[in-house]
Structure 1
Amino acid sequence: MNEKPKPKHEQVKEMIMSWIAAGRYKPNEQLPTEHELAELSGTSRQTVRQALGTLVQEGRLYRKQGSGTYISAMLERRTAELPTVGVLTTYISDYIFPQIVRGAESVLREQGCRMMLSSTDNDKAKERDQLLMLQAGSLQGLIIEPTKSAQGNPNLDCYLALDYMKIPYLMINERYAELNCPCVKVDDELGGYLAAKHLIELGHERIAGFFKTDDLQGTQRLKGFLRAHHEFGIALRPEHVVHYVTETKGTQPFERALAMLSQAEERPSAIVCYNDELAVGLLEAVRRLELRVPEDVSMIGFDDSFLATATEVKLTSVSHPKAELGKKAAELLIAMMEGTSPSLNRDILFAPELVVRHSTKPYEKNGDKFVRTNI
């Protein structure tokens, strides 16, 4: 789906913010005139005036009567008292993100830093807007969760601007492939492997996998899921591997699960889910068909979030260190800001563990249990 172009005044505003972020204009320095900005941006003076008015309202610019428009020193004054670290995540208010943020905040607070929190809503255009906004705020460092990391990085210029401005940054959960910044993440491939291996050892041979593949976490979890099947000689049915993206996560997995589970003779005996949020959604598909977890279908989630124990069936899930990951990211960023980090181009990898609860059981057929004992 093609995104609509931004209004012209928004494009002019973004252009000016990128200049500020790159240090082209310093606090209290005068911008070009409206006429000059109109020529530079290829827009009308009215469009430029609208963009400047918005930036003045936001406190990024100020006007002098009869003189012109200037870069505000407000942000510089505001951050001079306390070092500011930006934290940019895909989401803020749901699922595992609050725990990651709280972990980072606890370390930053102890180190005397102020945290500026933003989110992209997993939208690359919003990622660009937020990066420009954060860069214009005189930051000392940035913790970033990339947006749809498996779909490329159209905002490379923003990251190059961070390098040019010598603002240290690192990424959590994954990193864009072309960047050399540190990354603090879970070994997602191992997590997908552990989930599939657990079910295979319980005797399951028709295992379905549902993975969100517009981020690299999902592709790595899928890779581990496939590796377990290959290692143990279990043939995967192509129709039992479902990959989807953010825009279809609310419909496609549920519809595919209903279709699979409706085939009594051929339905999968177990399901591995991209995360606990999806697992909870697929539990409803199981209920709708009057099936039961784990009696009819075993199910495994990922992240070991609060959702894993919030339903009537306590989910087996792969652990995610959440708060610990946030803390480690903040500790590493502080070291980068102080110039004491021994190696900047490295991954810090957390090994996940399988947390076994009540949503998985040995595979049974005609009353007999099939459990692999030679693995």
Structure 2
Amino acid sequence: MKDSEKTVLKHESISRTIRSWLLDGRYRPGDRLPTNPELCEYFSANNRTVAAGIKPLVKEGFLETAPRRGTIVKTLPIPPKNNMVLFMDQIHGDVYSESTVTLTSRLLEERLCPIFPERNVLAEKENYASFLDCFLARQTPYGIIINGTTKVPVEYIEENKEKFSNLIFTVMGRNIENFSAKRVMIDTSAAGRIAVEHFASKKVKEIFYIAIHEYHYKSEELSLQMQIKNAIVEHCKKYGVTVNEEIFHKTFFVPHTKNPEYMKSLLKDAGPETGIFTYQDSWIQRDILPALKDLGKENIPLLGCYNTPHAAIGKFPSLDFQLPKIAEIACDMMTGKIKEQTVLVPPVLVEHS
């Protein structure tokens, strides 16, 4: 009887070990497990016990055995689901700290536990993918929220779609091949319209869009700045306003130094019918305003983005991209309270005086 009990425990141990190999990603669908003689040696067990350990995994559909081919991985087991929500986004600073507080409160109301990775995880695509791989190896979180402007490892998600059953992209969407994630995004068309209407109300005829240089620009789809610029150009047609494309391209595509002297070189030709738009409030406060003062052009209309404290200090208007609202909607999409697949959130223009 004792020998029989020992055999049962042994084959269950073999089954658990092989299951852990599949969960850890050691083998992928289509891979071949070690041969039975190799498994016998590894587990110090006889062939019958090894076969008994493999059998439950075959019945569950994770493995298949075939003559001459051996034991093949058919599908991967899904780790047990828990109440954690992984939030892949920046969580500090003027722009994101408020939305982090909002998200945390909403998730805790739903008895869900937010997980925020350390900021260096998001800095490199390799670290990003490695973190996701480690986190998802033994568990399935309730959901995953990813800011689409971060260095999203799209290839990793495409290769592991089964692990991302409740995925929400925020701020900017990402296209995953043969996969439909939910998205709650900044309405960049509305941003362009609001910006043009603001400048038109100030009698502006030409917009200087001073961009932040994007080192790894690939396409409009992956750049909020480019999406907003193109939306501004589109809405300009209605109001007889133009965008100075030369200044946009000079600042967007070419590395440059942020300082008042550089700004003066860009703004020296700005006239009474010029308006200045930039994607970063801090740039206006620290560099553009001092440059305009030196040039004697303090009355030029300005418009920033994200409505940070810099806009209040500098007393210029800014587009508030409603990031806390985006966080709320993402929570409601994840819990099923909002059924739409895609939600666009228009910004709000906030005046400071």
* C-alpha deviation, 1:321, in angstroms: 1.4
- Corresponding residue SS for 1:207: strand
Aligned position for 1:14: none
Question: Are 1:104 and 1:327, in contact at CA under 8 Å, matched by a contact in 2?
Answer: yes
> For structure 2, which runs of at least 5 residues remain unmatched after alignment?
1-19, 39-78
Residue of 275, 284, 300 corresponding to 1:279: 284
Equivalent residue pairs, number: 275
Show CA shifts across 1:170-199 (max 9, x none): 110012134521111221221122112211
Please report the RMSD computed on the Cα atoms of aligned residues, expressed in angstroms.
Answer: 3.6
Distance 2:229 2:259 in 1: 15
Q: 1:352 aligns with which of 337, 342, 347?
A: 347
Structure having the larger proportion of residues in helix: 2
Judged with a 3 Å threshold, the aligned counterparts in structure 2 of structure 1 residues 342 and 199 are, in CA distance, closer, same or farther, namely closer
1:144 counterpart letter in structure 2: I
RCO higher in 1 or 2 (8 Å CA, sep ≥ 6)?
Answer: 1
Deviation at 1:306, TM superposition (A): 2.8
Q: Which residue matches 1:56? A: none
Shift of 1:316: 0.5
Q: Distance in 2 between matches of 1:125 and 1:245?
A: 25
Is 1:220 aligned to 2:227, yes or no? Answer: yes
Distance 1:145 1:247 in 2: 25
Matched to 1:350, the amino acid is V
5+ residue gaps, structure 1, are 1-16, 26-30, 37-75, 359-375
Change (3 A) 1:84 1:260: same
Is this contact kept in 1: 2:264–2:292, CA < 8 A?
no
Contact kept in structure 2, 1:143 and 1:169, CA below 8 Å: yes
Distance 2:21 2:350 in 1: 46
* Residues 100 and 24 of structure 1, relative CA distance in 2, 3 Å threshold: farther
Residues 1:141 and 2:129 aligned together: no
8 A Cα contact 1:162 1:168, kept in partner:
no
**C-alpha spacing 1:122/1:208, structure 2 compared with 1 (3 Å):** farther
Query: Is the 8 Å Cα contact of residues 189 and 222 (structure 1) preserved in structure 2?
Result: no
Q: 1:270 to 1:256 in 2, by over 3 A?
A: farther
Query: Structure 1, residues 56-76: CA drift from partner, whole Å, max 9, x if none?
Result: xxxxxxxxxxxxxxxxxxxx8
Deviation track 1:342-372 (CA, whole Å, cap 9, x = no partner) reads: 45xx2111122222334xxxxxxxxxxxxxx
When residues 116 and 259 of structure 1 are mapped into structure 2, their CA distance, relative to the original with a 3 A threshold, is same
Q: What residue in structure 2 maps to residue 199 of structure 1? A: 199
Q: Which residue of structure 2 lines up, in the alignment, with residue 270 of structure 1?
A: 275
Query: CA–CA distance in 1 between the matches of 2:342 and 2:303?
Result: 27
Residues 234, 287 of structure 1: CA spacing in aligned structure 2 closer, same or farther, 3 A cutoff? closer
Which of residues 252, 258, 265 is equivalent to 1:259? 265
Map of 1:65 onto structure 2: none
Question: Secondary structure of the residue that 2:266 maps to in structure 1?
Answer: helix
Deviations 1:31-78 (CA, angstroms, capped at 9, x unpaired): 99xxx9xxxxxxxxxxxxxxxxxxxxxxxxxxxxxxxxxxxxxxx8xx
Q: How far does residue 137 in structure 1 lie from its aligned partner after superposition?
A: 5.7
Say whether the 8 Å CA contact 1:21–1:161 is kept in structure 2: no
Equivalent position amino acid for 1:330 in 2: C
State the alpha-carbon separation in 1 of the partners of residues 243 and 307 from structure 2: 26
% identical equivalent positions = 15
* Distance in 1, Cα, partners of 2:290 & 2:130: 38
TM norm structure 2: 0.66
For residues 288 and 129 of structure 1, the distance between their equivalents in structure 2, rounded to whole angstroms, comes to 48
Separation in 1, partners of 2:191, 2:237: 16
1:93 is aligned with what amino acid?
H
TM-score by length of 1: 0.62
**CA drift at 1:107:** 1.3
SS state of the match for residue 300, structure 1? strand
**Correspondence for 2:187:** 187
User: 1:302 is aligned with what amino acid?
Assistant: C
Instruction: Give 1:117 deviation, angstroms.
Output: 0.4
**Whole-angstrom distance in 1 between the partners of 2:137 and 2:211:** 36
**Residues 157, 177 of structure 1: alpha-carbon distance in 2 compared, 3 angstrom cutoff:** closer
Larger Rg: 2
Offset at residue 247 of structure 1 (A) = 10
Letter in 2 for 1:257: M
